[in-house]
Chains A and B, each alone.
Chain A
Amino acid sequence: MSEFEPKIVGFFCNWCTFTAADLAGTSRLSYPHNIKIIRMMCSGMVDPKYVIKAFLNGADGVLIGGCWPGDCHYINGNLKARRRVAMLTEILKEYGIDEKRFWLRWIAASEGTMLREVVSEMTAKLKALGPSPLNREAPGKEKK
């Protein structure tokens, strides 16, 4: 059986975290391929539905990347995102989706190194945590 590779869905703000991912790329800083990035115009554009859908479809983790408080391109979308994440975390926790699987992080456009660190850290922690209870493709799980 091969080692468990967690699947992470990343919702990255176009103005900061997505640019940071670009910067990491152009700086030849490699980060785990476990993350599949979806570019959003703002972390405040991440509808809780997107996160729920990702988990229901078997994502082992969801990472939302936004601008640091005060730096939002749309003034305060990131602060709205933070409240939504707090709310949604409570609901997901009730049904066994641990908050360790659902991250919001502030990563500025210049922080390519930090992007690499965050993605590496999350991948390592999810590997230790094991597959999401909803991941039907993880090794050792039967197709159902």
Chain B
Amino acid sequence: MANFIKLSFKKGELNQKLADIFKGMMEKGVVNALLAPMKQPKRGVMLTLVTDPFHLEAIDPFAPVAPVNGAKVVSSITAKPSGRKMAVVLRSCEIRALIELCKLKQANLEDVLLIGIDCLGRYENLDFVKLQAAGESSESFIVKALAGNTENSGCDVSGACKICEFPVADNVDLRLCIIGTGTDALYIESLTPKGDQALEAVGLKTGDTPGNREAAVQQLVKKRKEACDAAFAQYRASTHSIDALEDKLANCINCYNCRVACPVCYCKECVFVTDTFRHNGDQYMGWADTFGTLKMPTDTIFYHLTRMSHMSLFCVGCGQCTSACPNSIDLMPIFRTAAQKTQQRFNYQAGRSHDEKQPLTVFENDELVEVTGQVK
């Protein structure tokens, strides 16, 4: 397969090179807009919707930060389509979540040119801002991370990224590859006719092949998988009962930030903030009477288990739940371990394919016989 284009760049020029390509795409009318990580005027990098190519210089697609999971952003732009074509630059966890949102009809990729980046991890938002202020750039991060070192001034990429088996984005039109390409070149890979057309329009012809890529990707995936297995085993060994889960969640204050940050918590209105869970005073008193005490706010474990039963089939392991927790509860392993089990049960993998039906939306007459163990 030689569907790559080599894009050599000098130190400090990566973003400029990419901006030029997107500028070309917008000027040729391949797309009318670009949604990509962009340096913000004050500080930080956020997904930004650009419709005027003049501003493209500030894009920074490889910035090691994801303040929100981009799937939700794409959902808000495309759920009710604008009719305008948009190129979107996201990392794997965002794309996998986006695929699940498409299946739920909460996003639409018809007018989207989907571009995935090779992701070496993201820092927590405040850590990233600190590193940015210290003069770190995306390029310096890439060089270090490819050499296997993501730690920087006492900060490291998030726990979710360290155990993520998907550094490379699938189900995309174009892929911006940096793994196994050498540090002075980026390869653009086209995976669909839509991607081919976009590249042709800006005068880029595929035909190169990055020599080391496949092996380098496989090696990274293997390393991450091993880390993931070890992390899950450690979590399960320490948290195999509700009692242990209560211990893990002891600092939870029912703020529900984890569900706000979660890209696949799909309910428009969470039942835990509806009248179903607004009780009368005498109800609370009654519950307190049963055992003499009632922890307030109530229903903490109930909330987390219910959330699991809703989103675990779609969990992509992005770790935004952990990042969003104001009390530093490491939620990612809680939801990811449950997700591993529920997804395995249905031989499902969140974000793997547009064609796989979400497990609770389909059913057969003669399946899962082991659940009841009864045969007529």
Out of B292, B301, B346, B376, which one reaches A56, CB within 8 Å? B301
**Which chain A positions have C-beta within 8 A of B338?**
90-91, 94
Q: Does A49 contact B (CB under 8 A)?
A: yes
Q: Contact mask B238-249 → A, CB, 8 Å, 1/0?
A: 011111110000
By the criterion of a CB under 8 Å from any partner CB, how many residues of chain A are at the interface? Answer: 35
Which A residues form the contact surface with B (CB < 8 A)?
48-49, 52-53, 56, 68-70, 76, 79-80, 82-91, 93-97, 103-106, 133-134, 136, 143-144
Q: Which residue of A lies closest to B359 (CB)?
A: A83
**Which chain A positions have C-beta within 8 A of B244?**
95
Out of A53, A91, A105, which one reaches B372, CB within 8 Å? A105
- B341→A90 contact, CB < 8 A: yes
Q: Which residue of A lies closest to B242 (CB)?
A: A95
- B240→A82 contact, CB < 8 A: no
- B291→A136 contact, CB < 8 A: yes
A70 to B363, CA, bound (A): 12
**Which chain A positions have C-beta within 8 A of B306?**
48-49, 52
How many cross-chain pairs have Cβ atoms below 8 Å apart between A and B?
A: 97
A49 to B299, CA, bound (A): 11
- B242→A85 contact, CB < 8 A: no
- A87→B371 contact, CB < 8 A: no
Min CB distance B324 to A, Å, is: 21
**Which chain B positions have C-beta within 8 A of A89?**
371
Out of B241, B341, B365, B376, which one reaches A133, CB within 8 Å? B241
Q: Which residue of A lies closest to B360 (CB)?
A: A83
Q: Which residue of B lies closest to A107 (CB)?
A: B374
Binds A, one of B22-30, B105-113, B123-131, B308-316: B308-316
A96 to B301, CA, bound (A): 14
**Which chain A positions have C-beta within 8 A of B345?**
86-87, 90
In the complex with contacts A49-B271, A82-B372, A105-B374, A91-B360 CB distance below 8 A: no
Q: Determine the main DSSP class of B at the interface with A.
A: helix
Out of B302, B308, B359, which one reaches A91, CB within 8 Å? B308
Which B residues form the contact surface with A (CB < 8 A)?
236, 239-245, 271, 291-292, 301-302, 305-306, 308-309, 312-313, 337-338, 341-342, 344-346, 359-360, 363-368, 371-372, 374, 376
Min CB distance B218 to A, Å, is: 30
In the complex with contacts A82-B371, A83-B359, A69-B302 CB distance below 8 A: no
In the complex with contacts A56-B302, A82-B368, A106-B372, A87-B242 CB distance below 8 A: no
- A79→B372 contact, CB < 8 A: no
The contact sample of 13 A-B pairs, CB cut-off 8 A, is A48-B306, A49-B302, A79-B363, A84-B360, A87-B342, A87-B359, A89-B371, A90-B342, A91-B341, A93-B341, A95-B239, A106-B372, A133-B242
Q: Which residue of B lies closest to A97 (CB)?
A: B242
A105 to B374, CA, bound (A): 8
**Which chain B positions have C-beta within 8 A of A134?**
242
